[in-house]
Amino acid sequence: MVSRASFTESPDYMQSLARGLQVLCTFNRERSRSTLSEIATQTGLSRAAVRRSLLTLQHLGYVAAEARHFFLTPRVLELGYSYLSSLDLTELAHETMEELSQGVGESCSMSVLDGSEIVYVARVAVRRLMSVALGVGARLPAFATSMGRVLLADKSYNEVSAWLRQYTFRPITAHTVYKTRALRAEIQKVRRQGYAFVSQELELGLCSIAVPIRSTAGQAVCGLNVSMRYSDNVQAVAREKMLPALRSARQAIEQAIARSGWKPLVSRSAYG
């Protein structure tokens, strides 16, 4: 496989497409409307390159403008929906996730691994625990999340080593495990016990426990978690109440996968 760095120098690399996607990715909850100058600052691209990208995106219907400000249109949802509708796994899991969330009285989520991050593909929210709103398409650093760790635990020793070398990790809270040796130990622990518990590593007051969802071939295709507020006995509650419920939900989802004949759209290596 050609590395990302070397591919950008190849004749197959489309710089204009990359720039257009870079411009699209500047819009988020905090920056829903931006000027050309603001986008140029965010991306590091020239104003001329940003202008061409914005005008092309506007022509295609993905961006609209009002005075000096640009903003996304609902058409961008088609890009994400194409992935989710082809995934099918979210449909197979939705009813079970609803039952899981109602049963434990907490929010539950499903995500896949994409490079250094997890991407939410399904979520049933009971209450908002994090300072940022989470929904389908939200991204979080994989190394500090329970779902990220169960997906990393499915990788081989060499794959984990390559993953750890590829990215730089910094503490998010005082509880974050971020040094390479400690992270490797955590991933190995998750592999042995079959689940991941993370306490206040991503945000103070937030804990979560996750298990992997496997395809019929035994590949961990996504992580399933339950999140909860921190308390003195939260780890015991997670292990004694949440974990059995998660395992039961996993079994139901994996049985649905087997009945449907669903197979992952991408290979194991493509998840990062």
Q: Residue 64: which H helix or E strand, with range?
A: strand 63-66
The whole domain housing 29 covers: 4-72
> What are the tens digits of pLDDT across the range 45-63?
999 999 999 999 999 999 9
Per-block average pLDDT, block size 10, for the chain (272 residues)? 64 89 88 92 93 93 91 81 65 90 94 91 78 77 97 95 93 96 96 96 95 92 94 93 96 88 55 36
- Quick one: 65 and 88 in the same domain? no
Residue 89: Cβ within 10 Å count:
24
- Quick one: 66 and 87 in the same domain? no
Of 14, 39, 72, which closes a domain? 72
Burial label for 20, CB within 10 Å (0-12, 13-18, 19+), is buried
- Quick one: 43 and 110 in the same domain? no
The domain total for the chain is 2
Q: N- to C-terminal Cα distance for the chain?
A: 12
Residue 250 DSSP class: H
- Quick one: 65 and 93 in the same domain? no
What CATH number did the domain enclosing 60 receive?
A: 1.10.10.10
Phi-psi region of 171 (alpha: psi -120 to 50; beta: other; left: phi over 0): beta
Of 44, 72, 100, which closes a domain? 72
- Quick one: 165 and 215 in the same domain? yes
